A = this chain, B = another copy of it.
Amino acid sequence: MRNNREEQREGLKQRLVDAAEARIAAGGLNGLKARDVTADAGCALGALYTAFEDLDRLILQVNSRTLARLGAALQASVVPGHGPRAVMAELAQGYVGFALQNFRLWAALFTHRLPEGIEAPDWHRDEHAVLIAQIIAPLSKLRPDLAGAALRQRALTVFAAVHGVVMLALTARFVATPREQLPGEVAALVEAMTRGLEGRGLEA
């Protein structure tokens, strides 16, 4: 016997995630169709629903991959030995670069919505930690008064601010920041934010 069931099953899942990733990268989340991915993966339409609960769960797998790559990109963007404000700036630019170079997959992270009332599984929720993990250390240096949950919360706010600028620039239907100005605007925001954070507490 050459193939046990487990291997076949994993192989199919793999091909489906590969195909879905390629489809999203090429045509965005809205361009992802069950009939297309299954055709690309070389299986019947119904096979998708033996491998995953539904199309949303397949997208979750793609987003999982993207988050892992994003985490690696952020890690690679910080220069060891630099001060907290420099690290913040590097992380922000790393984020901008990733979003620009992986636009549709990155956008899928934030535009995908599960049906109302259905929550993402815990293992996937936890993967989003990479978005703020690298921010915590430099932020802690800028704001030594923060720790634990409060520090993590503020790191999320810092991320959200940068993310908002990138998101609006790349997906807005109205007056948007031109792409070539995006790195500069993000830099200005991070500079202002970190400068404001740094000064805080000195005179109070």
Contact = CB atoms under 8 A, between A and B. Distances in A.
Main secondary structure of the interface of A (DSSP, over half): helix
Given A193-B192, A194-B196, A125 B174 contact: yes
A195 interface: yes
Nearest to A163: B164
Interface in A47-102: none
A129 interface: yes
Contact of A175 (B156, B158, B163, B171): B156
B174 A161 contact: no
Interface in A162-199: 162-165, 167-169, 171, 173-177, 181, 185-186, 188-189, 191-197, 199
Interface in A114-131: 114, 116, 119-120, 124-125, 127-129, 131
A163 B163 CA distance: 10
Contact of A199 (B31, B160, B176, B195): B195
A30 interface: yes
A197 B164 CA distance: 18
Contacts of A30: 113, 116
A48 B187 CA distance: 46
B116 A175 contact: no
Interface of A: 27-28, 30-31, 111, 113-114, 116, 119-120, 124-125, 127-129, 131-132, 153-154, 156-165, 167-169, 171, 173-177, 181, 185-186, 188-189, 191-197, 199-200
